[in-house]
Amino acid sequence: MQTSSGILPPPRRTGLWNAWAPALATSVATIVLVALVAAVVTSASKAAAEDRLAPLLPVITAACGTCHAGPEPAGGLSTEGLFRQGDSAASADLADRAVRDQLVRMHDRVAAGEMPPAPESLADDARRELVAALGSVVDAADRADIRAQGRVGLRRLNRHELEQSLRTLLELPDLDVADLLPEDRLRDGFPKSAEGLDLSRPQLEGTLDALDAALAAAIASGVQAPERKTFRAISTQLFGGTAYGEPEARYFAKGALPIEAPAVDDADVECAIFRSAYWPYHGYPAGFVATSPGRYRVRFRARAVCQQADRSLLPAPQPVPMTFRARAPSGPDVSGDVRAVGGLIDVTPDDAEYETTVVLRAGQTIEWSLLGLAVPLARNVDGGPPTYRFPPLPPGGHRGIALRSLEIVGPLPPGDGAWPPRSHQILFGDLPIQADAASALPVEVIPADPQDDSARLLRAFAERAFGREIHDDDVAPAERVVGAALAEGASFTAAMLAGYRVLLAGPEFLFVADPVGRVGGGEGDGGRDGRALAARLSLFLWNDRPDATLATAAREGRLADPAALAAETDRLIDDPRFERFVTMFTDHWLDLRHLRRDEPDARFFPEYRFDDYLLESLLAETRASVRALFRDDLPILALVDSDTLQVNDRLAEHYSLPPVRGSGVRPVPRPAGSPRGGLLTQGAILKVTANGTSTSPVKRGAWVMTRLLGEPPPPPPEKVPAVEPDIRGATSVRDLLARHTADATCAACHRRFDPVGFALEVFDVCGGERATYRGIALPGEAAVDVVTGIDRAGHDYAYRVGAAIDPRGSLADGTPFDDIRGLKHLLARRPRQLARNLVGLLTAYATGGPLRFSDRRHVEAILDAAEPEGFRVRALVRRFVVSPIFTGAPDPEASP
């Protein structure tokens, strides 16, 4: 405790964090007393620590001192350095986190029997005693540290949280400012760590830019709403220029038969497209471009068809999934952003009208992007002029859609259609606006009384932004800036924007505080802790500030009631905004953000060339599984295995399941004999754990042990090169890794995770099932082992069928398994460890700091309570949220 009565601040009421200061200031004497008691407690606990460790020092020296001493102690751990030899007792500087962390490692490895390496050098009794002593000493020190410093302290919002907060605050759902900020650093696996989220100059410059951009988007773009325009075209007017890949890529048809040069006004003509959006391509309507940014309503009439050898059209047996892409109309070469907009649409074989809404920037258009279709190959035969090779006709013909008409209307007025828009009203209320050619702003607001209006608006905005009652002090700095700007001759509007920037750039908006368990602890807290807890819950499950319901519950002190807190947790999980948790959590926990990192190597996996639809589907599958885990309160074992699969049409094909219709991922029962079910066998997981070219059992095994079980292998030894896969495919990875089992030093660690990876070898770099490896086919090689053809992007391919895959293995304890199913059975024996790992992940994600030693008892208590119900995940989240780990509730034990 470093608090000293001499430097206590004068009572102030400045906001979220120190609203309780007056209560303290009323009784300085109490503070002094508290500080004194704390000092006594601190020295008492130190003495206690020494008392417990001192008698064990000879034991530690004898058992560990051989290696962990001297100038180069093993593993960097020196018992001499850790325990200073005092006059009477051993003392470790327990206030130092690095020292505590070392003691925790010591505790864990001795407890697990891994240290000392020769088990007989530490008798069982001595081991138990040492573990108990280390545990209680570290536990006490850790709790003392939390009491003194708080758990994690102030945490900056990460860029997605800041963007979402601004979207909510200003009611601008399409605001796009996250990329103005530098990428947030990861700590403990997530961009949510109080220590990892730094406050550098570039960070702040980005923040100021983002605030400027948000305010610019909020103010009315003109005195009137932008004029709404309608664009209409029938099929013959739809596209200008070539489709790249003719004649198969796109043509006109009438009565299902191809026709050349139809009459421009012939409404019975269809324009049929048969290719995916990939360079070179422009699938946008001639003559439409968004003149102002905003939402546009798109309607079109189309049906799904199959192109026959004579180019006649048959109705497609399956819907064709598509989306629109927003981009600049820059011809076949893409310039700038390309975004999928308007969501997935399944075009069915019946002629029908479809409607969606797209968000466009000024200067953008939309183009059709048909998913999973052929891609014509642009090539130069013998270096000659470019030509296109359309892939060969598959059975049933080339899939595509036949378009009849298109209508685009917009920009649609934002929100409820009011003008000026809500975002403007949030800043300027109902003050009248006018255009001013001399102004840099699109409109100028006309105040009735600049003084009164600015004071009123600033307060209202601060109340909205901070979610609490506002005092004079809270808006004083902003008022000063507004006043100074007005005095300098700034317009009212410009001056107010400067004031808003002061409020938003300040720490109260950019940071969140640590709840410390004072919820409902009386008026002295001023509601601070309730707000902090509500903010933590909302940032956890929505990446956003609390909504009105949650804020009200906090204000009324209801979050102190565990049942009410759990009910709010459930409400947030059931809300559509929970998807933000699913995305960010899986992006980092399961590395889904790396899904597109490695291109599948077309030399070995031609079937995946340009298959963006597969990647999209894989992403949707894993997100759906994790969403179901939380929403449907599935048992933790669903992580490892499940009878329900989350698939769409493309995934049913990829996983050799009975066909399903449409692009939407939905739950289907697992057919008998399928190895799928659970995260391990999902393509997204199998892709992010491979490198696009080859799979490594070492990497996959280590990934599974780390991410799912929370048992990361120690770092690999230096100077041992990574195993290079054999691109000829002749030698199996198992043979290349033989040393991992033959050499005892390697085996000590590798036996814990290599076998898990071996079972996963039956899945290729995109999660497709396989029985053999593939290798490079050399020219002139005997054709017997070589597979050749033309892929869906028109490229010739040839690969060699290589060595067979052997998925057998045994766990570190010697239990054998035959294949992935057997492995899943064995992993399913460890639900408690799976659940323990999840609680650890949730802690780092939701609280901004990792699980601490003194949290372990809370974790075990959560697990004990969750065990009878089979560690159901939603219930686990509820228990976690009401635990002291999340609420920051003070330690029930006053002193050790």
**Residue 380 sits in the site that holds other proteins (CB under 8 A):** yes
Q: Which residues contact 377 (CB under 8 A, 6 or more apart)?
A: 388, 389, 391, 793, 794, 795
Q: Burial, 664: exposed, middle or buried (Cβ in 10 Å; 0-12, 13-18, 19+)?
A: middle
Cβ-based neighbour number of residue 440 at 10 Å: 8
- Which positions from 261 through 290 interact with other proteins, judged by CB under 8 A? 277-281
Alpha-carbon gap, residue 78 to 510, rounded angstroms: 42
Compute the chain's Rg from CA coordinates: 32
CA distances from 708 to 188, 392, 615 (A): 15, 43, 22
Q: Is 386 in the site for other proteins (CB under 8 A)?
A: yes
9 alpha carbon, distance to own chain's centre: 40
**Among positions 495, 638, 766, 851, the unique one binding other proteins when judged by CB under 8 A:** 495
What's the closest the beta carbon of residue 422 comes to other proteins, in angstroms?
Answer: 20
Q: Considering the complex, what minimum distance in angstroms separates the CB of residue 11 from other proteins?
A: 10
Which residue in the set 94, 115, 170, 478 belongs to the binding site for other proteins (CB under 8 A)?
A: 478
Q: How far apart are the first and last CA of the chain?
A: 16
Among 359, 497, 532, 629, binds other proteins (CB under 8 A): 497
Instruction: Decide: is 153 part of the binding site for other proteins (CB under 8 A).
Output: yes
CA distances from 405 to 237, 308, 382 (A): 9, 23, 41
Q: How far apart are CA 704 and CA 679, in angstroms?
A: 10
Span interacting with other proteins, options 79-87, 335-343, 557-565, 855-863, rule CB under 8 A: 335-343
One character per residue 412-441, x = contact with other proteins (rule: CB under 8 A):
--------------------------x-xx
| Residues of this chain, 570-629, that bind other proteins according to CB under 8 A | 596, 599, 612
Q: Which stretch binds other proteins (CB under 8 A): 14-22, 658-666, 756-764, 870-878?
A: 14-22
The residue (of 23 and 132) whose beta carbon lies closer to other proteins is 23
Binding flag, residue 383, other proteins (CB under 8 A)? yes
151 vs 404, beta carbon nearer other proteins: 151
Which positions ≥6 away from 873 have C-beta within 8 Å? 629, 630, 633, 634, 635, 636, 638, 838
Cβ-based nearer residue to other proteins, 232 or 279 = 279
Of the listed pieces 2-10, 96-104, 698-706, 859-867, which binds other proteins according to CB under 8 A? 2-10
Applying CB under 8 A, does 333 fall inside the site for other proteins? yes
Is residue 205 near other proteins by the rule CB under 8 A? yes
Residues 623-642 that bind other proteins (CB under 8 A): none
- Residue (280 or 562) nearer to other proteins, CB: 280
Looking at beta carbons only, is 516 or 873 nearer to other proteins?
Answer: 516
- Candidates 188, 346, 508, 525; binder of other proteins (CB under 8 A) is 508
What part of residues 214-243 is at the interface with other proteins (CB under 8 A)?
Answer: 215-216
Nearer to other proteins, 218 or 347 (CB): 218
Tokens matching residue 18:
């120190």
Among 80, 174, 473, 869, binds other proteins (CB under 8 A): 473
In terms of residues, how long is the chain? 896
Burial class (CB in 10 A: 0-12, 13-18, 19+), 594: middle
User: What residues between 668 and 727 interact with other proteins by CB under 8 A?
Assistant: none
Residue 733, phi then psi, degrees to nearest 5: -60, -35
Q: Which residue has the tokens 């530098």?
A: 182
Decide: is 507 part of the binding site for other proteins (CB under 8 A). yes
Shorter beta-carbon distance to other proteins: residue 650 or 879: 650
Answer whether 410's CB lies under 8 Å from 292's CB.
no
CB 534 within 8 A of CB 450: no
Is residue 179 near other proteins by the rule CB under 8 A? Answer: yes
| Lookup: tokens for 156 | 């900056």
60 binds other proteins (CB under 8 A): no
491 binds other proteins (CB under 8 A): yes
Tell whether residue 384 is a contact of other proteins (CB under 8 A).
yes
Q: Is 325 in the site for other proteins (CB under 8 A)?
A: yes
* 88 lies in the site for other proteins, by CB under 8 A: no
Q: Is residue 301 within the footprint of other proteins (CB under 8 A)?
A: no
- Nearest distance, CB of residue 374 and other proteins, angstroms: 16
| Nearest by Cα to 711 from 751, 764, 675 | 751
DSSP conformational letter for 872: B
Q: Is 17 a binder of other proteins (CB under 8 A)?
A: yes
Residues 797-814 as b or e (16 or more Cβ within 10 Å = b): bbbbbbbebebebebbee
Pairing of strands 294-307, 796-804: unpaired
Min CB(497)–other proteins separation in Å: 5
